[in-house]
A = this chain, B = another copy of it.
Amino acid sequence: MDYLDLMKQLHLEANTKIVLLVMDGLGGLPLTPGGKTELELAHTPNLDDLARRGICAMSTPIAPGIEPGSGPGHLSLFGYDPLVYDIGRGVLEALGIDFDLHPDDLAARGNFCSLDEHGLITDRRAGRIATDINVKLVEVLREVKLPGVTTFVETVKEHRFVLVLRGEGLVDGLTETDPLVTGKPPMPVRALRPEAEPTAALVNQWMTEARKVLADERPANGCNLRGLAKDPGLPKMGEIYGWKAGAIATYPMYRGVAKLVGMDVLPTGDTIESEVETLAEHWAEYDFFFFHVKKTDSYGEDGNFDARVEVIEHVDHVLPDVLALKPDVILVTGDHSTPAKLKSHSFHELPVLFWAENMRSDEVTAFGERACMQGGLGHIRHVDLLPLAMAYGGRLKRYGA
Contacts and interface: CB of A to CB of B under 8 A. Distances in A.
Contacts of A53: 33-34
B379 A373 contact: no
A198 to B, nearest CB: 26
Contact of A360 (B65, B69, B360, B370): B370
A300 interface: no
Given A370-B362, A391-B347, A401-B227, A65 B384 contact: yes
B66 A401 contact: no
Nearest to A68: B399
A391 B69 CA distance: 15
A66 B363 contact: no
Interface string A49-93: 000010000100011111111111000000000110011010011
- A interface: dominant SS: loop
A376 B377 contact: no
Interface string A356-372: 01101111000001100
Interface stretch (A115-123, A171-179, A186-194, A338-346): A338-346
A91 to B, nearest CB: 9
Interface residues of A, number: 65
Contacts of A69: 398-401
A360 B64 contact: no
B360 A30 contact: yes
A33 B378 contact: no
Given A67-B396, A379-B380, 11 more contacts: A33-B357, A34-B361, A64-B380, A65-B388, A66-B399, A69-B399, A69-B400, A82-B399, A363-B370, A373-B375, A378-B379
23 contacts: A3-B63, A6-B63, A6-B66, A33-B53, A37-B360, A58-B376, A63-B384, A65-B390, A65-B391, A66-B391, A67-B396, A68-B399, A69-B400, A71-B401, A72-B399, A89-B401, A341-B358, A345-B398, A347-B391, A348-B360, A373-B375, A379-B379, A379-B380
User: What are the 4 closest A-B residue pairs judged by CB atoms, nearest first?
Assistant: A378-B379, A65-B387, A65-B391, A69-B400
